Amino acid sequence: MSSSLHDFSIPVMGTGHSVDSPIRVAPFGINSVISIVDDLLLERIRKHYCETFNLEYDNIARNADDGRARRITAYLNTVQDIVREKFATIKEQPFFEQNDKAKYFEMLPDSSVLKEKYHQLVSTDRDDLRKRLSVELTRWMKPGSIDVNIMAKVDKINYSQEGVPLSKEFSDASAALRGYAESNLASNLILSAGFNPRLYSYLSEFKDFYRDAMGSIKKKIILKVSDFRSALIQGKFLAKKGLEVFEYRIESGLNCGGHAFASDGYLLPDLLKEFKENREKLHTAIQSLVKDYYEKERDGFKSDWSVTEPRLTVQGGIGNYGETRRLLEEYNMDATGWGSPFLLVPEATTVDRTTRNLLEDATSEDLFLSEVSPLGVPFNNVKNTGSEQKRDERIEKDKPGSPCPKGFLKFNDEFTDQPICTASRDYQKLKLHRIEQKDIPEAEKEKLRQKALTKTCLCSHLGNGALINLGILEEHRAPQAICPGPNIAWFDREYSLREMVDHIYGRGESLVPSERPHMFAKEMVMYVDYFEDLIDDTEGNESDFKKLRKFKKNLEKGMEYCLEIAGTEPYADENLSSISDTVQEQRARLSSLFQQLEEKCMTASA
């Protein structure tokens, strides 16, 4: 089903922290994902790497025609050139030495056929077998995939210098898609953060997303999804246009890094169970639509073309080998995604030293779901970042808000004809003035002020760590934001790539302590926390009550299923006892919170 050498990948992490991860890990056969939201960041990093590797560099100016798409294409092609160069160097290295070629094979999963052949090579004394295996193993080597991510709903409409809206293909997401589509990459496009029909339709304009004469697809589509129904709807929408989904990437709604798109109380184990039980539907209900398209719009769907079920993968809070085995074996997942722990692996990600130190020292109390994102979506955060300090410094100087140097998150039209960003200086000035005019108690005004002022310039700040790390910007000029998942609390130092890969595969002593709560237990706590926040924000009307009652029922159902899991045989290092303890605590808490909601609704209706 997959040609991946590993059964894990490194997901996208912010705009900057995995921006050059393929350069770092693809030569070792590991897949990773680049965010292409910030084309201006990509251009600066392209210049850096062109200078480092003596590649030709021609600047693509900010106001260049179709500049966003061109910058993205140029960056991705540069990354591919560097990966090929580094990979070729590793391939040329000899066997029987402690070099990167040995590291390449030794990091492979123990179940890998390639690794079995490698062990056969290093253990044999026969010269003829050594020569044959050396040639075969070198020929079978391949780099990891250079994948890209587009947040589908981050799709700002852009304007000409005269203030006229540009046509839809120049919106942010469409231009990013075009930049990837016109690159030389043969890899995967991960679409996340919601269903955007206009963007999905635009995919059909690029041949690389369709089968060629041999039945191969150069650029494959991966959908990051939060529930089965959404996966099926999106898969069918694409299939009617002949576009096949290569993989559905299931992510915990809250126990993840970056923006958190909470479900309606559906816990990850329930979602995984549903995908496992209905997996065949994602193939049978969709493949017929693909074939119909090829019959009507192309030269037919050839009988010798390979057709396989889409892959199912999962990510969000995975912390040890035992949890990985449960996901792969109990739920038949094809692979897992490991994000936040790799923020502490300099060989894999681009994080500045100050921020990495912050992550190494972070405890569970330091990691929280924040409201800093201008998207209005909960954002996983850590206390005391450079970004937080810069925001507070501006507030203290009575100059709140950012000058908005990039403007990727301009979506608010509360005060202006053209949308602006809620973290911008312009918006916050207007918002604070509006709050002052309200005829409400001072305490309520202060609450509204704090909500407005908490927003942070993620466009720039999420990429600054990479610029500092690469020596492009000095730290005092570049406030850093980062978006780790809560799982990072259990990883407390810098790790080598080899150490982290061995941890994922259960080789050697675990990097996390045995008392670390199970990923399913942690997610449960986060959802009850989120439920409490929803109650705080509700006005107590009937509509909100019905939604929250449904949320509670879904959570309770998920807790029951988690108790079933807790009663099974644990995999190695799997802390199942933490699940049953957490269910007891969170059930009681959920009941108490719901009682508060009922009282609030009764008061509101009185």
3-state helix, strand, coil in the chain (%, to 5): 50, 10, 40
* 332 alpha-carbon distance from chain centroid: 21
Cβ atoms of 227 and 202 closer than 8 Å: no
Residue 46 is given by DSSP the state: H
pLDDT tens digits for range 372-410: 999 999 999 999 999 999 999 999 999 999 999 998 999
Q: What digits encode the pLDDT tens for the residues 361-379?
A: 999 999 999 999 999 999 9
Q: How many CA atoms within 13 Å lie on the side-chain side of 77?
A: 14
**216 and 240 Cβ atoms separated by less than 8 Å:** no
Read off the pLDDT of residues 478-512 as tens digits, 9 standing for 90 and up. Answer: 999 999 999 999 999 999 999 999 999 999 899 99
pTM: 0.95
pLDDT single digits (tens) 411-465: 999 999 889 999 999 999 999 999 999 999 999 899 999 999 999 999 999 999 9
Report the pLDDT averaged over residues 145-151.
Answer: 97
166 or 209, greater pLDDT: 209
Question: Above 60 in pLDDT, residue 3?
Answer: yes
Mean pLDDT along residues 120-143: 94
User: For the segment 240-283, what is each residue's pLDDT rounded down to a tens digit?
Assistant: 999 999 999 999 999 999 999 999 999 999 999 999 999 999 99
- Given a contact cutoff of 8 angstroms between Cβ atoms, the answer to whether 293 and 241 are in contact is yes
pLDDT > 80? residue 1: no
Asked if the model's pLDDT at residue 60 lies above 90, the reply is yes
* The dihedral formed by the CA atoms of 109, 111, 115 and 117, expressed in degrees to the nearest 10: 180
Please choose, from the candidates 384, 419, 423, the residue with its C-alpha nearest in 3D space to the C-alpha of residue 402. 423
For 314, 325, 441, 448, 517, the CA distances from 559, given in Å and listed in that order, are: 20, 21, 41, 35, 15
Computed over every residue of the chain, the mean pLDDT equals 94
Burial of 504 (0-12, 13-18, 19+ CB in 10 A): buried
For residue 565, pLDDT over 70 is answered with yes
Neighbouring CB atoms inside 10 A of 589's CB total 15
What domains appear along the chain, each with residue ranges and CATH number?
8-341 (3.20.20), 355-494 (no CATH), 517-606 (no CATH)
Distance CA(573)–CA(584), nearest Å, equals 22
Longest dimension (CA), the chain: 89
Query: Does residue 94 register a pLDDT over 80?
Result: yes
Interval 4-20 mean pLDDT: 95
β-sheet with 146-151: strand ranges across: 8-9, 335-337, 311-315, 245-251, 220-225, 188-192, 146-151, 32-35
Q: Rounded distance, CA 19 to CA 79, Å? A: 10
pLDDT mean over 121-130: 92
Q: Directed axis angle between helix 577-605 and helix 519-537, to 10°?
A: 10
Q: Which residues pair with 222 in a beta bridge?
A: 190, 247
288-329: pLDDT as tens digits: 999 999 999 998 999 889 888 999 999 999 999 999 999 999
Angle between helix axes 519-537 and 542-566 (nearest 10 degrees) is 170
Q: Using the structure block, give the residue that is written with the tokens 């670390």.
A: 516
Residue 553 pLDDT class (50, 70, 90 cuts)? very high
At 539 the pLDDT is 84
Tokens of 55: 């590649």
More confident residue, 299 or 578: 578
**If DSSP states are collapsed to H, E and C, what string results for 294-329?**
HHHHCCCCCCCCCCCCCEEEEECCCCCHHHHHHHHH
Q: Does the structure show a pLDDT above 60 at 2?
A: no
Q: Which residues contact 598 (CB under 8 A, 6 or more apart)?
A: 545
What is the per-residue pLDDT for 523? 97
C-alpha gyration radius of the chain: 25
Amino acid at 51: E
